[in-house]
Amino acid sequence: MQLNDTAAIVTGGASGLGAATALALAGRGAAVYAIDLASSIDDAPAVDGVTYLVADVTDEAQVRSAVATANEGAPLRTVVNCAGIGPSARILGRGGVHDLALYAKIVQINLVGSFTVLALAAEAIAQTDPDDNGQRGVIVNTASIAAYDGQIGQVAYASSKGGIVGMTLPAARDLAQHGIRVCTIAPGIVNTPMLATVSEEFRAGLAAGVPFPQRLCEPAEYAQLVTMIIDHDYLNGETIRMDGALRMAPR
């Protein structure tokens, strides 16, 4: 599918994976709408071809408004869900049972938020004219290798990302009649701003656990895989692990 002269939505687009993806899509000629919270957008750099929209992915009205804005000019063809959070807590910890509200919040943002954007964007994409191959769009969701190898303390995060993996194939089947493909990327350990807060020694230890290449993944490599999925018209309903063959230990 061609990106030039089309519109794209990237959630969590002000930093990390989302920012790298927004930059890559804009570089390919798409008009990119980067959705994020106001606090994140305030610190985001200005990028040619990227328009920042304030929206909470868990708020249906805000998502509808953002989708409508993105679909006003060039046809909306691409959606990449990068918004998410990853607090950790054990089911039974020193402070007692896992905070039930925290569990619900993580699932609400990571899984329900991704589905909300997917569904409302698909509604808009389905109204556009198809290209010569009958395609209307591509939606890429972000899971994690924690969906398969969740570690101690990741029960909520792994649940939310496992849900994204689980919805990938049925979503692709649901949207096939509208010419919309759905794929998911499950990254390993990515060098995001969150990791910038830890020591170099800790980061080196994480990298040493990756079989090959023995380093952290860069956000630009995630963005590269997004563009590869968009370009490859036969990729659909698939979750792709991007982890250097890493399989996470229990802790």
Show which residues are catalytic: 157
**122 is written with which tokens?**
């698909």
Distance CA 172, CA 176 (A): 6
Assess whether the previous peptide bond of 213 is cis (omega < 30° from 0): yes
Structure tokens, 89: 């807590």
Asked if residue 197 lies in contact with residue 186, where contact means CB atoms within 8 angstroms, the answer is: no
User: How many C-beta atoms lie closer than 10 Å to residue 122's C-beta?
Assistant: 22
Ordered DSSP codes for 149-177: HPPTTBHHHHHHHHHHHHHHHHHHHHHGG
Tell me the CA end-to-end span of the chain in Å, nearest whole number: 41
